[in-house]
Copies of this chain bind each other. A is one copy, B any other.
Amino acid sequence: MLMPHHFQITERVQFSETDMAGIVHFSNFFRYMERVEHAFFRSLGMSIIDPPEHGADRVGWPRVHASCDFMAPLKFEEEFRIELLVEEVRDKVIRYLIRLWHQDGTLAGEGRLTTACVRKDPESGRMKAVSIPERIRSKIEAAPAEMLARPGR
């Protein structure tokens, strides 16, 4: 399960994540997607918040794009699985494909996160997209195409 392109965690729906329709509010699917992204970084011995020891080499990962298809609602106290696949690693960008699975093996949702590698420009003080540092790049690779194809239902 610990590969440089695949990672998964199991979570339980919390009451405060539901809405008056009795299901998880759709905005929380994006929080679940971020949760597995950050756990993926930890699984590789890193943190999405680059530690201060990296000094001027420190990078951040703002979102460029996020999307989700909602197939079946998640409900209170349900345990579900969040599966992350690295869809593409480009020079300055990583794209993730993330699936949320009910315990019976049906898809609750499938989403994508595109994150850019940025560093604070010392002159302007603004965030600027930069090449992913080798110390990170060497740990992450795209998943094989067959893992990325949406599973039939």
Q: Which residues of A contact B (CB under 8 A)?
A: 14-16, 18-23, 25-28, 30-31, 34-35, 38, 42, 47-49, 60, 62-70, 73, 76-77
Contacts and interface: CB of A to CB of B under 8 A. Distances in A.
Per DSSP, chain A at the interface is mixed
Given A26-B30, A38-B77, A67-B67, A60 B14 contact: no
A49 B15 CA distance: 9
Contacts of A15: 19-20, 25, 34, 38, 48-49
Q: Within the oligomer, what is the number of copies of this chain?
A: 4
A26 B65 CA distance: 9
A35 B17 CA distance: 11
B30 A14 contact: no
A14 B26 contact: no
Contact of A64 (B21, B48, B70): B70
B34 A16 contact: yes
